[in-house]
Amino acid sequence: MEIQYVIINFLILLILLFIVGRKTVKRLFGGRYERINSELDRAEEIEKMDMPTLVDPSAEVICADCGDEAEKAQSLVTEKIASIEAFGEREKSEIHRNMIQDARKELFSVMKENVVSLFSYEKYLNEIKELDRQVVDEILKRISLTPGDMAYLKHQEVLYVTLTSAYPLPKDIVDDVDKATTQMLDTVGGKTSLWVLEDPALIGGLKLRIGDTVYDGTVSEELYQFGKNLNCEPILHDDTVGHLIQEFTEKAETFKPHIHQYQLGRVMTVSDGICWMDGLADIMYGEVVEFECGERGMVLDIQQNRIGCVIFGEYEHIESGSKVRRVGRIASVPVGECLLGRVVDAMGNPIDAMGYLPYKETRPVEFKAPGILDRAPVNSPLHTGIKAIDALVPIGKGQRELIIGDRQTGKTAIAIDTIINQKGKDTICIYVAIGQKDTLVAEIKEKLEANGAMEYTTIIAVPASSSAALQYIAPFSGSAMAEYFMYKGKDVLIVYDDLSKHAVAYRELSLLLHRPSGREAYPGDIFYLHSRLLERAAHLSDELGGGSITALPIIETLAGDISAYIPTNVISITDGQIFLDAELFNEGQRPAVNVGLSVSRVGGAAQSPSMKKVSSSLRTRLAQYRELAEFMQFGSDIDDETKKTLASGRLLTEALRQPRYAPVEDDMQTILIFAVSEGYADGISPDEMERFEKDLYRYFREEKAELALEIKQANKFDEELKNSLKEALGEFVTRS
């Protein structure tokens, strides 16, 4: 009986909920739904509308005289290139590119002059004046209040509206604008104050500014857009000035003023690469802004009355009071296969004198890291080719392994060797050099080229001399470039060399942005800075393509102090660290991996079964040896057992030595470590280890290739395999 009551009660409740809930939901969402629909309809209508054509000057008129300029420029180019016959291809193409760029600028200024003089003809002038009416109607159809305007109106009563034209406007146009804007503001209970201005620099047409939003239907704006698009056009190897003329004529044919909409702000102060602005009502964090001089910046601070941004380029030409406009996108960099083999700056512009980067896609520099469900466990190895690392602190694809150590302890060397070892392994590498010397980057590039590693590598070079803003953004750009490949299902290795300098650059920016400083004068969000960067390294699940980003951040310590602020931060973010010991390095034990302090928290799952088995006791044996060796410095009485442990420990340490640029395959590493730890090298002196190692590799490569392959691919390092390896090693030892 009771159950029946419960069911009946439940049904009544459901019906009640349906009746009451339906109305509430409708009330809540109905209004919003209708608003969205009407906005969409309006947007569609605007799309369909025909743009008024201000003027239709023929391409010939606009490009008049361009031909003469072009011929002059072409002869200059030919002359210059002929005079530098002695230079290499690369220098020649660089000069060619620069000259074409100059010629383009020259042509553009001729074109501008032509357009200006065009509008001094009575015929065109009248034509354009007649069209003012159409432009105004068009603008009035588009105007609306932005969220920024609404927010402004909450604190202020009046929203300023400015109507600017090249020539005096008839009264009816001004009245219409006044009426339309007053009406629009009435709906939200605000007032307008209309200013009517004249500015001959606009050449023709008019623009309306409401709050910070500008609806621009002027000829000068069209010219500006034309020039901007032109600068983005690639300069190809076979471009001549003849091509340029053609390009200009084609473009000029489609030169028809449209109505451009953008938001404006004003520069308040500029100093040390930081600019404070006001206006730009709807700007977002991370958005790109453009200054009048053409430089760009990125918004890093939004306060109620002012907006702080970092300037990417030179800030000497930015004046206080000058205009700044929203570009309408978040800072992003070019991505794609075209970046492989190239050296680029923090914004992805090529700096290797190899010309234009033919990219098709860009990605935002800041991007959300994959969530838990998007990730798969780290389960396949990323071999570094360095014995001490692959055996003791193995790295898996998708892992973040920190390389940490004092200065000049071989941190960069490990990263570069790992990149070289990815040859033929279908892994893309990105090396981000932050605050490094230019000569070092050039040297690294040369070495990578010599080892055939540049084909699959991109270098992002931000030298110590570049601004803090660029140093700050470089690792994020690298991450964006890596993500492109990861989401395509590929494996990527990214090296951040080094994050200590990155932290310093960020501290500089934060202090200049007047943010409160915390421990060691770093801002409070420095942990978040590095964690959001390193979280972007991941091994994606199979549904997302199974790609991965393995990150090797580098941190420099002072006198081995890993408990300083930045080292502890990054240690806690990463999945392990390779600690390089200055003492070991100076003793000549290179790579100077400190076995006791180095760990890999997920890498064990990513080792081959044979290597895992062979290296399982290596760590304790090495630690034991170092402890004993230190202790024995003081004593002379050593029993036989200790002597044996010391000798074999010494041999093992010796076997882990490795020169630069000499990666060893995984199977050979396994065989060597097995041979030494099982005592097959006991007869030799430590100095002979190098020869022993070489002979061993040769023997297994040439005579026991099958066994080596078996060791590499075996699912289990069982007794049978162990015995055949022992047999082969016995044969090798008796022979040598």
**Cβ contact 497:554 at 8 Å:** yes
Question: What are the b/e assignments for 656-685, b being 16+ CB within 10 Å?
Answer: bbbeebebbbbbbbbbbbbbbbeebbeebe
CA angle 570, 334, 401 (to 5 degrees): 20
Given the rule CB under 6 A, which of 193-201, 401-409, 514-522, 677-685 is the region that contacts ligand ATP?
Answer: 401-409
The CB-nearest residue to Mg ion is 412
Tokens of 333: 């960099």
How do strand 296-302 and strand 307-311 relate by DSSP bridges? antiparallel
CB of 412 to ligand ATP, least distance (A): 3
Site for ligand ATP in 87-116 (CB under 6 A): none
263 binds, among Mg ion, ligand ATP, none (CB under 5 to 8 A by kind): none
410 binds, among Mg ion, ligand ATP, none (CB under 5 to 8 A by kind): ligand ATP
CB of 593 to ligand ATP, least distance (A): 10
Residue 399 DSSP code: -
Site for ligand ATP in 514-573 (CB under 6 A): 556
501 binds, among Mg ion, ligand ATP, none (CB under 5 to 8 A by kind): none
How do strand 307-311 and strand 323-330 relate by DSSP bridges? unpaired
Site for Mg ion in 393-432 (CB under 5 A): 411-412
Please tell me whether residue 408 binds ligand ATP under the rule CB under 6 A.
Answer: yes
Given the rule CB under 6 A, which of 61-69, 79-87, 171-179, 410-418 is the region that contacts ligand ATP?
Answer: 410-418
Q: Closer CB to ligand ATP, residue 41 or residue 690?
A: 690
**How far apart, in whole angstroms, are the C-alpha atoms of residue 470 and residue 456?**
24
590 binds, among Mg ion, ligand ATP, none (CB under 5 to 8 A by kind): ligand ATP
CB of 634 to ligand ATP, least distance (A): 30
When binding is defined by CB under 6 A, the residue of 591, 603, 649, 663 that contacts ligand ATP is 591
**How far apart, in whole angstroms, are the C-alpha atoms of residue 181 and residue 15?**
49
How many Cβ atoms are within 10 Å of 7's Cβ, its own excluded? Answer: 10
When binding is defined by CB under 6 A, the residue of 97, 387, 590, 613 that contacts ligand ATP is 590
CB of 689 to ligand ATP, least distance (A): 15
CA angle 399, 403, 409 (to 5 degrees): 160
Q: Which H or E element spans position 151?
A: helix 147-155
CB of 470 to Mg ion, least distance (A): 19
Please tell me whether residue 411 binds ligand ATP under the rule CB under 6 A.
Answer: yes
# residues near Mg ion by CB under 5 A = 2
Residues 6+ apart with CB under 8 A from 183: none
577 binds, among Mg ion, ligand ATP, none (CB under 5 to 8 A by kind): none
Q: Closer CB to Mg ion, residue 496 or residue 527?
A: 496
Give me the amino acid identity at 269.
T
478 binds, among Mg ion, ligand ATP, none (CB under 5 to 8 A by kind): none
CB of 410 to ligand ATP, least distance (A): 3
Residues forming beta bridges with residue 261, ordered by sequence position: 215
Please tell me whether residue 410 binds ligand ATP under the rule CB under 6 A.
Answer: yes
- Spatial CA neighbour of 670 closest among 715, 623, 612: 612
When binding is defined by CB under 6 A, the residue of 72, 329, 407, 514 that contacts ligand ATP is 407
Please tell me whether residue 213 binds Mg ion under the rule CB under 5 A.
Answer: no
Q: Closer CB to ligand ATP, residue 466 or residue 548?
A: 466
659 binds, among ligand ATP, Mg ion, none (CB under 5 to 8 A by kind): ligand ATP
Angle between helices 705-713 and 666-677 (to 10 degrees): 100
Q: Closer CB to Mg ion, residue 207 or residue 411?
A: 411
Burial of 342 (0-12, 13-18, 19+ CB in 10 A): buried
**Is the CA virtual torsion 567, 570, 576, 582 positive or negative?**
negative
# residues near ligand ATP by CB under 6 A = 14
Q: Closer CB to ligand ATP, residue 240 or residue 451?
A: 451
Given the rule CB under 6 A, which of 300-308, 411-419, 513-521, 682-690 is the region that contacts ligand ATP?
Answer: 411-419
Site for ligand ATP in 631-660 (CB under 6 A): 658-660
Q: Closer CB to Mg ion, residue 339 or residue 580?
A: 580
**How far apart, in whole angstroms, are the C-alpha atoms of residue 39 and residue 32?**
11
**3-class DSSP state of 639:** coil
CB of 385 to Mg ion, least distance (A): 18
**How far apart, in whole angstroms, are the C-alpha atoms of residue 505 and residue 522?**
10
Please tell me whether residue 462 binds ligand ATP under the rule CB under 6 A.
Answer: no
**How far apart, in whole angstroms, are the C-alpha atoms of residue 484 and residue 536?**
12
When binding is defined by CB under 6 A, the residue of 111, 139, 163, 413 that contacts ligand ATP is 413
Half-sphere exposure of residue 507: CA atoms within 13 angstroms, side-chain side: 15
Candidate list 296, 306, 325, 601, residue with the active-site label: 601
CB of 404 to Mg ion, least distance (A): 12
**3-class DSSP state of 331:** coil
Q: What share of the chain is helix, strand, coil (3-state, %, to 5)?
A: 50, 20, 30
Given the rule CB under 6 A, which of 253-261, 278-286, 407-415, 423-431 is the region that contacts ligand ATP?
Answer: 407-415
Q: Which H or E element spans position 694?
A: helix 689-702
Compute CA distances 342 → 90, 339, 454, 553, 720, whole Å. 14, 5, 8, 21, 48
CB of 526 to Mg ion, least distance (A): 21
Q: Closer CB to ligand ATP, residue 418 or residue 422?
A: 418
When binding is defined by CB under 6 A, the residue of 412, 466, 598, 648 that contacts ligand ATP is 412
Tokens of 468: 């803090």
Please tell me whether residue 192 binds ligand ATP under the rule CB under 6 A.
Answer: no
Give me the amino acid identity at 596.
G
Q: Closer CB to Mg ion, residue 412 or residue 467?
A: 412
Please tell me whether residue 419 binds ligand ATP under the rule CB under 6 A.
Answer: no
Long-range CB contacts (within 8 A, 24+) of 166-170: 166/119, 166/198, 166/199, 166/200, 166/201, 166/202, 166/203, 166/204, 166/205, 166/206, 166/218, 166/219, 167/125, 167/129, 167/198, 167/204, 168/198, 169/132, 169/196, 169/206, 170/132
Q: Closer CB to ligand ATP, residue 589 or residue 642?
A: 589
CB of 474 to Mg ion, least distance (A): 15
- Spatial CA neighbour of 325 closest among 207, 204, 428: 207
Site for ligand ATP in 31-90 (CB under 6 A): none
Q: Closer CB to ligand ATP, residue 21 or residue 659?
A: 659
| Active site (annotated) includes residue 601 | yes
CB of 562 to ligand ATP, least distance (A): 14
Please tell me whether residue 409 binds ligand ATP under the rule CB under 6 A.
Answer: yes
Q: Closer CB to ligand ATP, residue 434 or residue 611?
A: 434
Give me the amino acid identity at 130.
E
**How far apart, in whole angstroms, are the C-alpha atoms of residue 348 and residue 327?**
18
Would you tell me which residues interact with Mg ion (CB under 5 A)?
A: 411-412
Active site residues: 601
Would you tell me which residues interact with ligand ATP (CB under 6 A)?
A: 405, 407-413, 556, 590-591, 658-660
